[in-house]
Structure 1
């Protein structure tokens, strides 16, 4: 079936690319291997990570086509719409996909970007707290990861963006605890609009779990903060 989430007033959550600035101390990157990562998660991580640097003749190295994107558990101290969060709320606020401390219990993921090919990939291992249908990942958790990967991709292409629409076709359920690959590709840019396609696939590419078309709108962050 098809799941759509429309937001003509652009009231959905903000996707931002510049993440480390709001932190008072050095942030922790959560998109690095930990003891919960399975063999497929590690294999794909090492595959893309090995392409972030290329060895040159003479032993030197240069940047490769791919770049690993860090992931933190905080974004901004401002709520959507520019409303300033109280100190109490601000101190407790956490990025939704990083709000569970137990490694492997929920969203384990890492993103890599290829600016030359205008692609972004996400490696996602679904933990036991993401169960929907018995033994399988909840559709909302899948949509969250699609929004995370495509939103990050769109913000890399056009600066800060907001999700306007996600149209997700669920093709095949994802077994709980398994690892999948999300591939995000730019389809079109028209003014403020960025249209991106995304597939969620098994790690060997033999099965497509979902197909998505996502629409994002570029925004001016100052408009969100002007009432702070």
Structure 2
């Protein structure tokens, strides 16, 4: 049997899949949404559900169409900020699901020990990073490539290190190049509100990314 050359058989690591660092609540929520990505009809056939899991790599550009070539041009050693730490569970552990029909996106986020701000709790900047990641990804799904224009975050209650929370993103409105998104960070049962955000993203072209304009 003929085998493929190693460079053709290489598969990038998908960081949105479960690993040994995921706690029971992270796994429970993952199973809850992942089970809705594919449903069984009355006839026993499988079909797409209302949710879709988004794969996540350590660099967005590298695994996009034509990205391997472009990544050599634009700092090939760059890594996505939330995915550059190799140690599972140490920092940002998260997975995103999108619901195109309802124009919603949900993120299950487990905060690692390297994200400490106030003793025993997650740094506000790390929370903002996750909010920007989730709302930006959601805006990209809705409008194509975008860049953040504004994030307005109201922090309501701290997030304990090691805990699992939900980030729920929804479309507010679209006006030309502008996409307005709202996001809530809550406990997984929805009983505690950690933060509320309104965000604005501007649609861009690939030339904006390549030329930095």
TM-score in terms of structure 2 length: 0.88
Pick the aligned partner of 1:121 from 103, 106, 109: 106
* The one of 126, 145, 149 aligned to 1:141: 126
Contact 2:38 2:49 in 1 (8 A): yes
**Alpha carbons of structure 1 residues 92 and 201: separation in structure 2 relative to 1, 3 Å:** same
Instruction: Write 1 or 2 for the structure with the bigger share of helix.
Output: 2
- SS of residue paired to 1:137: coil
TM-score (norm 1): 0.82
Give 1:159's match in structure 2, choosing from 130, 144, 167. 144
Q: Is 1:57 equivalent to 2:9 in the alignment?
A: no
- The 3 A distance-change label for structure 1 pair 89 and 105 is farther
1:91-135, Cα deviation, whole Å (9 max, x unpaired): 421100001000100000000000000000000000000000000
- SS of residue matched to 1:102: coil
Distance change in 2, residues 1:129/1:88 (3 Å): farther
Superposed counterparts of 1:17-166, under 5 Å: 25-76=10-61, 90-166=75-151
Q: What is the number of residues matched between the two proteins?
A: 199
Three-state SS of the structure 1 residue aligned to 2:196 is: strand
Q: Residues of 1 paired with 2:10 and 2:143: CA distance?
A: 28
CA distance in 1: counterparts of 2:72 and 2:169, whole angstroms: 36
SS across alignment from 1:108: strand
**Greater relative contact order structure (CA < 8 Å, 6+ sep):** 1
Alignment of 1:177 with 2:153, yes or no, is no
Once the two structures are TM-superposed, the CA of residue 24 in structure 1 deviates from its matched residue by 10
